[in-house]
Structure 1
Amino acid sequence: MKKLVMGMIIGIVISLSGAVNGASHAIEVLSFYAKVFVSGHEKSMDPEYVIVNYKDHAYVPIRFIAESMEASVDYDNANDRIMIDFEDMNLLDLQLIDDTSFGGVKLLQSQKEVIDLLGKGDALRGCMGCGFNAAYPEKQITVSTSSYTNDLGDKNKVVRLATKNNEDHFLDFKVGDRIDSAVAILRDNRFVAIEYLSIYKKGDLTVRLLDENEDHIIDEIELEVGLKPSQMR
């Protein structure tokens, strides 16, 4: 058999809420089993969806792929058009970044601004790719900046920020709250769980909830932008 080509966006299996006006004809397809990964993370497919093989091409439901990428899909019944909208797809929620501050420090703040605000803190080791990695015990936070320029252009800016201070909030939860309550809030805000790492991701923003005492209570909140989840310490 020839090598299967994955037709991700032009899949012939389309989930629609209304009837289809356009002319159609029967074709013969075969059910095709495959796991689907988006940006390196496996996506679970609902039973209503199926991957099929047609003429040695694998076709994935367009709604499943689009929504896995935080896009919306609608069918324009009057004009026989499938509408894919990436307007809601947010690689980095800058408003959320701007609304979040741990100890007076924000993600993407410059290294100079942090030092001017809090000093150099206590230097920490063991952070690959960090230009500046320090703890501020009086604020109960740790701050890391990037030593290189990536797609976000964040060289010498804060890319990792963590707090153990129960006065610091992220969204509507804080240190000391229950893990399950925080997870519900994250999911309501369209963060996707990466279970095996116990982290939650929305675009280029990653959140990790640490439960050091294993009592289902948040002991530390860690935020990170612009790095892969596997690079989190």
Structure 2
Amino acid sequence: MRKFILGILVGALIFSVNRIDASNLLEVVQFPAKLIINGSPAALDADHPMLNYNGSAYVPVRIIGEALQSKVKYLDDPERTISINDPRAKLPQNYPEDLAILNGDVVYLSMSKAYNEVQISDFLNNIQKNVGDWIRITRYTFEGDPIIQLVSYNDGIFRYTLDNSRDKFGATDIRVMDCSELNKSNGELLGHKYTELTLKGCGQNQESTSLYKLFDK
């Protein structure tokens, strides 16, 4: 087996650094095993090999996360935070905006202040390619309570979940329904142009629900 000397092996991710303290050097070996996740082979390559250290296998966290339909985000912060966002996971009851942003949610605060909106473009592109994907959008009430929308797409069907369970002053239910279409339309509010995303054909009553307004920057 080919041997590697690598700096600071953290879980399933290896960070490269300019200066490496000799006390942090670890000796690992390439581990050419086959990885199957939920019945499908995982795509490992020469640049992202599986490694073995002290009898444990290490795989790049993005490969594992995305194979499990999670979204992996590397944050450019002093702590080198890695966010793994799973649509099936139960979110904490206390879900402030800074945590939602770190988690990779699209967080809407105002017409001029929103975070992670690139997720919307990626979601729309995958829909055009008929590739399964999902997106979570989080807004906050005046009192600071999160209203969470989750939309997953698979084979032409949109599953929409509206979670109001953390709203202390409004409806505290969770609604789930299937929708047949995601529509885009243009509008203007207080002189600000936007593209509105609307889910249509939802539930037994074939209702429509506004999902998001993407304001021009």
Fold shared per TM-score above 0.5: no
Give me the TM-score of the superposition, normalised by structure 2.
Answer: 0.33
Give me the TM-score of the superposition, normalised by structure 1.
Answer: 0.31
Highest relative contact order (Cα 8 Å, sep 6+), 1 or 2?
Answer: 1
| Structure (1/2) with the larger strand percentage | 2
**Which structure: larger Rg?**
1
